[in-house]
Amino acid sequence: MDKQAFLFTGQGAQFAGMGKDLYDKYNTFKNIFDEAGEHLKINLTDVCSDNLELAKTHNAQAAIFAMSYGIFKLLEEHDITPDCAAGFSLGEITSLAASGILNFKDTLDLIRLRGEVMQDACETFPGLMYSVIGADDKLVEEVCESILLKTKNYVIPANYNCPGQVVISGDAEAVEEAVKIFADKKIRTVKLNVAGAFHSELMKCNSHKQFQFKEFLGTLNYNLPKFDLYSNLIGEKFVFRNEHSSLNNIKSFMIDYIPKQMSNPVRFRTELENMSYNGCGLFIEIGAGKVLSGFVKRTCENAKFVNVQDVETFETAIKSLL
């Protein structure tokens, strides 16, 4: 029987009105949303109704996490649980909470500080991200390298999403130069709705906030995960569920890993390929939008996928999965 994988959405998938019908209908979801907003001292229902507020990194990350985690708990109530999980960028932090490595309130604090660090980096080193559609990985890498060598301006492949789709990230001048080169080659690009150059060196702002962030990670309690997790950085399973794992190992690993995760490429295509190779045939996308389901469709031949983002898709998923 095929294994079941949960995929948690990341920043950029947010939209005004997300989660409202789930909030109105299900107390479990409402309680999580309210608890998250109260803990973070923001009104998440107001944030989720306003595209301008959702454009702010710290707001977007809190709202996306609360929505995804709330849906996860609704599925869990119906005894729908994964054999393994992965998340895209911010979604990887959601996967840590869902697996039990981090508790809910610690994760909220982590996401708040992570969002502040990233927003600070965006304001200090402004940048852009574009999705490159229809080019192979090697060509995208060569274009980025040529710009760096020729101009010293910074642009890299930041997200390896699926075959034929790579996201570039870097300073505005370099990214726009890359976009022009792709246009000359008749390759389509799409600007992403994000605040800066995520998953690039521009996220390594030498600020007091970053120092605080690493110190904060050392204060958290970490637990063994309930299911396997796959890593954005290497595209393979975290080795946390064997006889050699310990809570100290997990803690030291996460203190190093989580800051790196913000400033290094996301190898989501490799994650999907490895999950499929290891027996995952059903992928359940949890959170706003259907982007990750599209990645599955284009990466994993014959895989089935389900998206859960509102009352209709939740109720359809419950019927089909049970």
The CATH H-level (homologous superfamily) assignment of domain 126-195 is Malonyl-CoA ACP transacylase, ACP-binding (3.30.70.250)
Dist. CA 216–CA 109, nearest whole Å: 9
Number of other CB atoms surrounding residue 50 within 10 Å: 13
Taking each continuous run of H as one helix and of E as one strand, the counts in the chain are 14, 9
Rounded to an integer, the average pLDDT of 247-267 is 92
Identify whether the C-beta of residue 253 lies closer than 8 Å to the C-beta of residue 231. Answer: no
Average pLDDT score, the chain: 93
Q: For position 207, what pLDDT does the model report?
A: 66
Q: Which residues are catalytic?
A: 89, 199
Identify whether the C-beta of residue 30 lies closer than 8 Å to the C-beta of residue 76. Answer: no
pLDDT surpasses 80 at 60: yes
Write down the CATH number for the domain with range 3-122+205-321.
3.40.366.10
pLDDT surpasses 70 at 23: yes
Residue ranges of the domains in the chain? 3-122+205-321, 126-195
Q: For position 13, what pLDDT does the model report?
A: 84
Q: For position 115, what pLDDT does the model report?
A: 87
pTM of the complete model = 0.94
